[in-house]
Amino acid sequence: MAKTRKRGGYAGTPDRAHPRGRHRPRDHRGGGHGARRGGSGSGTARLAPHRRGADTFRRTGSALSPADLARIRGEFAATLKGPVGLPEVRHPDGTEAGVLGGILRTGLDAYANVRPVATTPGIPGALAGSPRIDYVIVRENTEGLYASRGRGVGNEHAHVDQLLVTRAGTERIVRRAFEIAVGRSGAPADGVRRVTCVDKANVLPSLAFFRRVFNEVAAEFRLSHPDIVAEHRYVDACAAELITNPGRYDVLVTENLLGDILSDIGAATVGGLGTCPSGNLGDGAAYFEPVHGSAPDLAASAAGPDAANPSAQIRSGAMLLDHLGERAAADRVRAAVDAVAAELIGHGEGFSCAAFAGRAAEHLRAG
């Protein structure tokens, strides 16, 4: 595959693209949209919207039913999920109950959480000197500390959550990270294609194991791609460098919780959580969503929900199109978002969610 990179996006290998053939995206609004598989080969995506999440949990005791999960797995090529969850909707153990991430990631075996972090042309970043930033965090999605979701052990005196790292899980997430690096142009600062293993191997044996397996997979890739540099960073040092020297990073691969935290740090440097998309990819099913959550505090504020920045949600749709092999369409969507961001934000104009989305739609129609 050609070594092209989409700014703020990712490039997968050809066998990763639309593995289920013709597509029918599914949409979880508050919940999402899904792309239904069809046999026509027309290249069009038929949307099938569904509402799931916190309100569904309050009504039924489940944020997403097993039947819905089976339909997503079997009928849809990809899913576009909107932000879900309410802080007051919780399980008896205190964890949030109305979210879909844990259900979809494990239920679809969507083991790779791909989170691009990139500056937008014309928009000043949060860092001094506005360095160009363009890297991808590849977060293991089904293991790590989050594997203890709903499974922790505890009483009124203490609680314990386990950090799970398996060889199979680590091998496949590291391979995915290297595959993404193959399709990119390298770090902005030096053009070097590199994959950085981010861990705490000096403290936790589980993450020392993660690093060891990373090294084994890196050695395999070095045979066919000797130009891709494999390196390591401890997570605390990496967190600092994402602020002091973000341009040296290209692709980072890491454990579940660490990737969750690092991607939020990255988002803060390029305009906030409202600008960053993500994809959750397996070897078959996939779903796409903004990095941010539902922000009920914004909805309840004087500004109201129309003050939300929709660009992360729209960019997640572009990642879905990439995944389905519709890369020209994905590029058009990203270009429209970048243009509107430069018009509205870059010139200091205020904007509403509806106005931003409407302006982006105008760019798409004009282009």
Secondary structure of 201-235 as H, E, C letters? CCCCHHHHHHHHHHHHHHHHHHHHCCCCEEEEEEH
Of the listed 134, 199, 260, 322, which one is catalytic?
260
What's the token pair of residue 34? Answer: 């899904």
Contact 135, 250 (CB under 8 A): yes
* Residue 236 known to be catalytic: yes
Distances 328 to 21, 322, 367 between C-alpha atoms, Å: 17, 8, 12
Of the listed 146, 199, 250, 287, which one is catalytic?
146
Secondary structure of 135-170 as H, E, C letters? EEEEEECCCEHHHHCCCCEECCCCEECCCECCHHHH
The phi, psi pair for 162, rounded to 5°, reads: -100, 145
Between CA 57 and CA 52 the distance in angstroms is 8
Contact 242, 267 (CB under 8 A): no
What's the token pair of residue 49? Answer: 């919207």
**Residue at token pair 């020297």:** 245
Distances 284 to 15, 109, 110, 214 between C-alpha atoms, Å: 10, 8, 8, 23
Of the listed 93, 190, 227, 236, which one is catalytic?
236
All residues at 6 or more sequence positions from 25 whose CB lies less than 8 Å from its CB, including other chains = 33, 34, 35, 36, 45, 46, 47, 48, 76, 77, 78, 79, 80, 320, 324
Between CA 105 and CA 174 the distance in angstroms is 17
What's the token pair of residue 346? Answer: 């870059």
* Residue 297 known to be catalytic: no
Of the listed 81, 199, 200, 322, which one is catalytic?
200
* Residue 264 known to be catalytic: yes
* Residue 146 known to be catalytic: yes
Contact 136, 10 (CB under 8 A): yes
Q: Which residues are known catalytic residues?
A: 146, 200, 236, 260, 264
